[in-house]
Amino acid sequence: MLKLRIFILLPFFILVASCSSPEDVTKGAFFHWFEYEGNDEYYNENQPGENEFFNPVLSGFYPDPSICKKEGDYYLVNSTFSFFPGVPVFHSNDLVNWKQIGHVLDRPSQLNITNQEISEGVFAPAISYNPHNDTFYMVTTFVGGDGNFLVKAKDPAGPWSDPVLIPEVPGIDPSLFFDDDGRAWVVNNGDPRGESIYPGHKAIWIQEYDVDKDEMTGPRKMIVDGGHDISQKPIWIEGPHIYKVNGFYYLMAAEGGTAEAHSEVVFRSRNVTGPYESYEGNPILTQRNLDSDRPNPVTSTGHADLIKFEDGSWWAVFLGVRPYLDNHFNTGRETFLLPVSWKDGWPVILESGKEVPLTVKSSHQLNSGVENEFFPNGNFTVRDDFESDSLELYWNFIRTPKDDWYEITGGDLRIDFRPVTFREAKNPAFIGRRQQHQNFSASAEISLVAGDLNDRAGLVCFRTETNNYFLGVAYEQGELVAFVEKTIIRQGTPEKKRLAMKKTGLGADDSILLRIDGRGEFLDFLISEDKEEWESLADGQDATYLSTATAGGFVGTYIGMYAEGLD
């Protein structure tokens, strides 16, 4: 079991020079480094062979994958909901080893998330490449904001344009398809024509997009009503993509909702606007109806996108989850990769009854990758010593920052004490990264230069404003204390509940070590005052409190550095 270590150096006041006054001191929480480790049992017990890889290829909260290519380069994006920057962009040459190269929405002018709920914000971004004007496009939905919009760029690493709003397209999950003749089409999820005839009844619509004018044109047309078989009352047909293969237009979409009944279905037509026929072998991907007691289960699979590799093979990226203990999962919905077979002119990602494997054989040579260059999967360790002038791309904020409340200086990350907490639908002083394993460890070293008795800092395990844990340090009545808090709801309001506290007896020049061990359904919080022996502060805390089954929503758990200074 790996340990989550947090090293925290906490002088109440630090004089930067013997002649300095308290007013000269730059106050804040100074994080000197942060490290994350994963230790899942499957990856310890299995090693991929030659040209094999581990699923998921992007572990942790990387849902709703969309993929495109330009020549031999492949680009992938994911949903980010109300985290900022929005929509990470990954690059690969082999579909397995991915390097993050930027974010699509990295400016407030592109994405202004204010008080939206955590599971609002950016839904299901779809990336595509238009060879007719050598331009990349990303189209998505800002739920709780401006609705559907697109941005474009010559380089997928950015910068991307400010949003082009497309209010003529209602609903969610738009996707752009560029045809051989240069015309472009938007397909998306929307309400059916007329009244819905059952709960969850949705439809797929298509409308032409004028590339030269950057606007919708022509009539909207419903091309799928309900899903594969409307007599079965399928729910939430969404996440559509169109591909042209051997003279057919293939329309692929998710169906069944994003939980255990999630699936992928496919249709085809000789014309882009239909009529579309449904594949009698649908669904072409699902894990529903499998034994829930199977080892190493992957569930909730769907929201797929297809890509043709340079060697002619076809592959699918899709979301899935790795649950523990009766379908709890804290890691969110992750990005998986599987080969696609063609049967009688139809693409099939996984035959009915087959399980998603966690080890997969590739049909082509895989890049070995370079340490700290590519996004790792399996078990790994990532450390940030804050030596760069900017944050690494895997760090995120909760909502869009409006103030410069952090800085990287002298190899430290300094975070201001702000009168905003993670229990509010605002932008707290939180900088976090995804939990990517059931068994994880994260560590940090921090110096607290406090100017007020209410200044506190530490690490937060964050799922929502109401579902989180805080392992922190502060001065209380002149003494340095370490504590663990859990947010609870009392009379409809999130409140902190102290689970444990210890007066450390440390002086202003001493440091303290804090550690959180994540082990499936449990979280352990420990401290060390002498940096050798660990003392339990709060063992066996309920990690399912951070799971989707308990907290709800569409995101995963973040572990982040945090500071607050309340009035």
Catalytic residues: 64, 238
Beta bridge partner(s), residue 286: 263
Contacts (Cβ under 8 Å, ≥6 apart) of 78: 58, 62, 63, 64, 65, 66, 87, 88, 125, 335
Place of tokens 């920052």: 401
The residues near 278 (Cβ < 8 Å, ≥ 6 apart) are 228, 229, 265, 266, 267
Residues 340, 473: Cα–Cα separation, whole Å: 51
530, 521 Cβ separation under 8 angstroms: no
DSSP class of residue 549 equals H
Distance from C-alpha of 337 to C-alpha of 298, rounded to nearest angstrom? 12
The answer for 196, left when phi > 0, alpha when psi is -120 to 50, beta otherwise, is beta
Helix (H, G, I), strand (E, B) or coil at 548: helix
Token representation of residue 398 = 């909760």
Any idea what the Cα angle at residue 208 is, between residues 204 and 214, rounded to 5°? Answer: 120
Q: Of 525, 424, 524, nearest to 472 (Cα)?
A: 525
SS (H, E, C) 175-188: EEEECCCCCEEEEE
Region label for 291, one of left (φ > 0), alpha (ψ between -120 and 50) or beta (otherwise)? beta
Distance CA 307, CA 126 (A): 13
Which secondary structure element, helix H or strand E, spans residue 41, and what is its range? helix 41-45
Q: Which helix (H) or strand (E) holds 541?
A: strand 535-542
Q: How far is the C-alpha of 54 from the C-alpha of 495, rounded, in Å?
A: 40
Give the chain's largest Cα–Cα span. Answer: 82
> For residue 449, how many other CB atoms are within 10 A of its CB?
21
- Cα 377 off chain centre by: 15
Task: Give the pair of three-digit tokens for residue 501.
Answer: 């506290």
Residue spans of beta strands (DSSP E) within 115-234: 121-130, 135-143, 147-153, 164-165, 172-178, 184-190, 203-210, 215-225
Q: What angle do CA 424, 425, 427 make, to 5 degrees?
A: 90
Q: How far apart are CA 122 and CA 118, in angstroms?
A: 10
Please, what's the b/e burial string for 218-242 (b: 16 or more CB within 10 A of its CB; e: otherwise)? eebeebbbbbbebeeebbbbbbbbb
